[in-house]
Amino acid sequence: MKKMRMFKFWNENGDEKEKEAMSLKKAVMAVQGDYKDEVIGVEYVSKKGKQISTSVKIPVGRKIREALIIEKRRLAQKAAREAREKSRYASN
């Protein structure tokens, strides 16, 4: 039977959360909505008993990543279009 582990997450502002899950990926996916940072720190005890402290890049998950990429591209296109229109009217 798999062992549930306690994962402790934090960001640069000092916000901390603890999550109990079977794997790091499942724990990250559960708490990534609570953080707006790109990288969060995590600390846990591995299967072999080692204390591990590392950082994780979020968001994790295909749908979430694709949605963010599409949103960034849409905002960049909107900013470029507004800049074009602004420069066109400014030259007149």
Sequence spans of domains, the chain: 1-59, 61-92
74-86 residue pLDDT tens:
999 999 999 988 8
For residue 89, how many other CB atoms are within 10 A of its CB? 8
Least-confidence region, from 10-14, 27-31, 32-36, 74-78: 32-36
**CA Rg value for the chain:** 20
Query: Does residue 1 surpass a pLDDT of 70?
Result: no
In this structure, the number of other CB atoms found within 10 A of the CB of residue 56 comes to 18
Buried b (16+ CB within 10 A) or exposed e, 18-45: ebebeebeebbbebbeebeeeebebebe
The pLDDT-based confidence of 70 (bands split at 50, 70, 90) is confident
